[in-house]
């Protein structure tokens, strides 16, 4: 399937992307892609090292005539989000991504594509492999585990890099230059679920919430898309109020940085209220669809009769659990009062799992203001504590404070205007980029992030625009040629 991608322009970038997409590279399972990059650097006879946490650093000398330019760090992360549609038969641990070309877009067949951040990685590989490009000395930094904890960036020690400018190739709009981002923290609630034998005279059902748009829990959180965990919770609460409903299990969402697209629940309904239940859930589906028909046009609720489950959550505890999930903040918490249209603080209710006498609720809280991030973390924890949950907080990483007056930002802004007859959108974003973390050990390094148009990141709808990659590549190569000298 990748052959159609390999003939696209610029061919070097797309061929490296196709090679990369043959390597399974889930977060925290990057052993194969780390070795792939080490072999790549060795084949080019370039200085290559792996640091103690697994980041790969490949250094390439400057092109003739560019020895006096500032050393540039080119940075992207090796891991990708592994998500697939429920009806897609695909093994991320053993298979390479199956890519398709549709008009002006490259996408995958029912899975995430890995353009986030594979296009950035492939861009850097193309520079390292080129014998014609003009560029200053390059330090290629390929970090690991960006998507589920940023442990690569967190583990990178000072003193390994000499660069004074860092170009992060991990944003998703080709008219944007990102100079700041939000920090994040993981909040997880866990606890015991008291179960009991399912009452007699009940009928089993499987309730499925499917077809939601999903997306990136930072970059797409302001778009008002439905969260499958919250919708399932609303359905169970609504139908509990109008029928004799019991819950045996709930399984919704997945990764913290993806807006949940699907949720499944196994329930039992008293035979004396079956008609009320079926009427209630059919009517409520229409209500929910009316709310989300614009953002989630493929949304659907499926109900199928199954064997009645043997055990159900004790009703008193279920009452509390559903209400705690109901009041758990999801989506925008506060917009920035300083930067127009920037989400300052948000939360994603990423995972709800109730099974085997245990519940788990996983959230990712983001904010560009550390005190507000902590405040929302405390608010979430307070609600979960009322349920008696054990609260685990971890994976905290700092935001990236903008330096709008940095010379590299002015140069790249002026260059964009010169090349494309328009001004770029110089902004901060609500995603968790690695620049904030990297800056803790390299505070003097000026940083900027940019990339081509990528849509649907972290979902099976992920795609990257071919013409935008061509625009981005043209701009990127010109940026390298214009890197200022060391005395500027």
Q: Report the alpha-carbon distance of residue 215 to residue 259 in Å, rounded.
A: 5
- Across residues 353-362, what is the average pLDDT? 97
The answer to whether 107 and 113 are in contact (CB under 8 A) is yes
Is the domain of 363 the same as that of 448?
A: no
Is the domain of 290 the same as that of 220?
A: yes
Domain count, the chain: 2
The answer to whether 78 and 142 are in contact (CB under 8 A) is yes
Query: Quick one: which of 369, 468, 474 has its CA closest to 115?
Result: 468
Residue 385 vs residue 399, higher pLDDT: 385
Residue 1 vs residue 403, higher pLDDT: 403
Report the CATH number that the domain containing residue 172 is assigned in CATH.
3.40.630.10
Does residue 430 fall inside a structural domain?
A: yes
For residue 248, what pLDDT is reported? Answer: 98
The answer, yes or no, to whether residue 1 has pLDDT greater than 90, is: no
The pair of structure tokens assigned to 325 is: 């999930």
For residue 95, what pLDDT is reported? Answer: 94
Q: Report the alpha-carbon distance of residue 488 to residue 472 in Å, rounded.
A: 25
The conformational region for residue 253 under phi > 0 = left, psi -120 to 50 = alpha, else beta, is left
Is the domain of 170 the same as that of 278?
A: no
Q: For the segment 44-73, what is each residue's pLDDT rounded down to a tens digit?
A: 999 999 999 999 999 999 999 999 999 999
- Across residues 304-319, what is the average pLDDT? 97
Does residue 69 fall inside a structural domain?
A: yes
Does residue 235 fall inside a structural domain?
A: yes
Is the domain of 125 the same as that of 199?
A: no
Instruction: Measure the CA angle with vertex 83, ends 82 and 85; round to 5°.
Output: 150
Which long-range contacts does 239-242 make (Cβ < 8 Å, 24+ apart)?
Answer: 239/277, 239/280, 239/281, 239/284, 240/318, 240/322, 242/273, 242/276, 242/277, 242/280
Does residue 76 fall inside a structural domain?
A: yes
Is the domain of 17 the same as that of 68?
A: yes
| Percentage of residues of the chain with pLDDT beyond 90 | 89
Which of the listed residues 375, 397, 419 is the one where a domain comes to its end? 397
Bond preceding residue 10 cis, omega within 30 of 0:
yes
Is the domain of 26 the same as that of 131?
A: yes
Does residue 488 fall inside a structural domain?
A: no
For residue 340, what pLDDT is reported? Answer: 83
Is the domain of 202 the same as that of 305?
A: yes
- Across residues 323-351, what is the average pLDDT? 94
The answer to whether 330 and 227 are in contact (CB under 8 A) is yes
Report the CATH number that the domain containing residue 313 is assigned in CATH.
3.30.70.360
Q: How many residues would you count in the chain? A: 488
Which of the listed residues 374, 397, 420 is the one where a domain comes to its end? 397
Q: Report the alpha-carbon distance of residue 291 to residue 295 in Å, rounded.
A: 9
What is the domain range of residue 421?
Answer: 3-182+399-481
Give the mean pLDDT of the chain: 95
Which long-range contacts does 385-390 make (Cβ < 8 Å, 24+ apart)?
Answer: 386/320, 386/324, 387/189, 387/191, 387/320, 387/321, 387/324, 388/191, 389/189, 389/190, 389/191, 389/359, 389/361, 390/189, 390/190, 390/191
pLDDT category at 431 given cuts 50, 70, 90 is: confident
Q: Which residues are annotated as catalytic?
A: 79, 146
For residue 86, what pLDDT is reported? Answer: 83
* Distance from the Cα of residue 165 to its chain's centroid: 25
The answer to whether 204 and 307 are in contact (CB under 8 A) is yes
Is the domain of 355 the same as that of 322?
A: yes
- Across residues 244-267, what is the average pLDDT? 96
- Across residues 380-386, what is the average pLDDT? 97
For residue 19, what pLDDT is reported? Answer: 98
Q: Alpha-carbon torsion 379, 384, 385, 387, what sign? A: positive
For residue 2, what pLDDT is reported? Answer: 75
């Amino acid at each position: 399937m990748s052959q159609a991608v390999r003939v696209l322009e610029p061919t070097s970038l797309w061929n490296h992307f196709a090679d990369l997409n043959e390597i399974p590279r889930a977060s925290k399972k990057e052993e194969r892609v780390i070795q792939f990059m080490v072999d790549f650097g060795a084949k080019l006879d370039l200085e290559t090292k792996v640091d103690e946490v697994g980041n790969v650093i490949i250094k390439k000398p400057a092109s003739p005539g560019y020895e006096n330019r500032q050393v540039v760090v080119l940075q992207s992360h090796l891991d990708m989000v592994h998500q697939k549609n429920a009806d897609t038969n695909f093994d991320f641990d053993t298979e390479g991504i199956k890519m398709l070309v549709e008009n002006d877009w490259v996408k995958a067949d029912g899975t995430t594509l890995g353009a986030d951040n594979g296009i950035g990685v492939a861009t850097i590989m193309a520079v390292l492999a080129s014998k014609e490009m003009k560029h200053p000395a390059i330090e290629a930094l390929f970090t690991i585990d960006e998507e589920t904890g940023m442990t690569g960036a967190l583990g990178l020690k000072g003193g390994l890099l000499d660069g004074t400018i860092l170009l992060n190739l991990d944003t998703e709009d080709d008219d944007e230059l990102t100079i700041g981002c939000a920090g994040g923290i993981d909040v997880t609630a866990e606890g015991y679920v008291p179960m009991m034998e399912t009452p007699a005279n009940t009928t089993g059902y499987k309730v499925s919430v499917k077809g939601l748009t999903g997306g990136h829990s930072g970059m797409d959180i302001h778009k008002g898309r439905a969260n499958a965990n919250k919708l399932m919770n609303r359905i169970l609460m609504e139908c509990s109020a109008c029928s004799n409903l019991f819950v045996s299990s709930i399984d919704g969402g997945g990764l913290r940085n993806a807006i949940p697209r699907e949720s499944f629940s196994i329930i039992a309904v008293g035979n004396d209220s079956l008609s009320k239940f079926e009427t209630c859930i059919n009517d409520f589906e229409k209500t929910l669809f009316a709310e989300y028909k614009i953002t989630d046009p493929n949304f659907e609720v499926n109900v199928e009769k199954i064997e009645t489950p043997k055990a159900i959550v004790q009703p008193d505890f279920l009452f509390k659990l559903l209400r705690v999930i109901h009041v758990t903040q999801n989506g925008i918490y506060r917009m920035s009062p300083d930067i127009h249209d920037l989400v300052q603080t948000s939360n994603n209710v990423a995972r709800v799992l109730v099974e085997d006498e245990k519940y788990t609720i996983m959230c990712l809280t983001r904010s560009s203001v550390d005190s507000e991030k902590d405040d929302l973390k405390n608010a979430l924890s307070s609600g979960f504590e009322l349920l008696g949950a054990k609260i685990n907080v971890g994976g905290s990483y700092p935001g990236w404070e903008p330096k709008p007056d940095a010379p590299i930002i002015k140069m790249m802004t002026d260059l964009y205007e010169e090349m494309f007859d328009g001004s770029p959108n110089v902004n901060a974003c609500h995603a968790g980029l690695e620049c904030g973390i990297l800056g803790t050990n390299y505070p003097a390094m000026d940083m900027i992030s940019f990339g081509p148009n990528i849509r649907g990141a972290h979902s099976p709808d992920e795609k990257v625009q071919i013409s935008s990659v061509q625009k981005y590549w043209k701009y990127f190569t010109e940026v390298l040629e214009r890197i200022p000298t060391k005395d500027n």
